[in-house]
Amino acid sequence: MTAEQKTDVQWADRIAAIARTQDQTAFAEVFRHFAPRVKAFLMKSGADSALAEECMQDVMATLWNKAHLYDPSRAAVSTWIFTIARNRKIDLLRRYARPEPEDLPWGPEDVPDQADVLALQQETTKLAAAINALPEKQRQLIERAYFGDLTHSEIAAETGLPLGTIKSRIRLALDRLRHAMT
């Protein structure tokens, strides 16, 4: 299997290696796959090439810095990197610090349930397949919404995507986390 075809679970292992041992080889693998995509996402969102490169490097450095806070039972690696890129995009392009929800990290002693991690990664794979199976017009609308091409009132949340199951999975992981925190 080449570096380009890793599954979500394998990406999650690379992030764990960065968190545990500051593994630069794992970081380089993550970088080769995600950095060009993050840069493309930023350019689609209106940044020129130079700003997108600058912002992307910042996003990837943030990933390194936050690797120990990544929770694979609540987000695939692609989802997690998307949220970092989106927040930095708003910080830079709109020039304000984006308000983010209070984080709920696992404590150093507690770790997410491996079954939760697998279940969420499977749901994420299904979601990606469902997006690819959408009619071209609808798929483009969803992409444009996430590039910031649509205003809030143009966004139709009825995507026809299987978001109910993914929500239930994440809800379960949150319940376990809340339980571990008390």
Partner 1 sequence: MQTIRHTLPDDLLMGYAAGVLPQPFDLVVATHVSLNDDARARLAGFEAVGGAVLDDMDGAKLAEDSLECTLARIAGMVPEPRPMPSRGIFPTPLQRVVGGDEDAVRWKSLGMGAKQALLCSDGEATARLLLIPAGQAMPAHSHRGMEMTLVLKGAFRDEDGIYARGDIEVADQQVDHTPVAEPGEDCICLIATDGRLKFNGLLPRIAQPFFGI
- We find the least distance from the C-beta atom of residue 173 to partner 1, in angstroms, to be 8
| Identity of residue 88 | R
Minimum Å distance from CB 9 to partner 1?
Answer: 14
Closer of 100 and 136 to partner 1 (Cβ) = 100
The rounded distance, in Å, linking the Cα atoms of 159 and 150 is 14
Shortest Cβ distance from residue 112 to partner 1 (Å)?
14
Choose between 35 and 119: whose C-beta lies nearer to partner 1: 35
Cα(89)–Cα(161) distance, integer angstroms? 26
CB of 114 to partner 1, least distance (A): 19
CB 159 within 8 A of CB 46: no
Q: How far is the CB of 86 from partner 1 (least distance, A)?
A: 5
Quick one: 25 or 114, whose CB is closer to partner 1? 25
Shorter beta-carbon distance to partner 1: residue 41 or 119: 41
| Residue whose token pair is 């992981």 | 173
What CA–CA distance (Å, rounded) separates 85 from 41? 8
Q: Which is nearer to partner 1, 2 or 151 (CB)?
A: 151
Residues 6+ apart with CB under 8 A from 78: 8, 11, 34, 124
DSSP 150: S
Residue matched to tokens 């968190």: 19
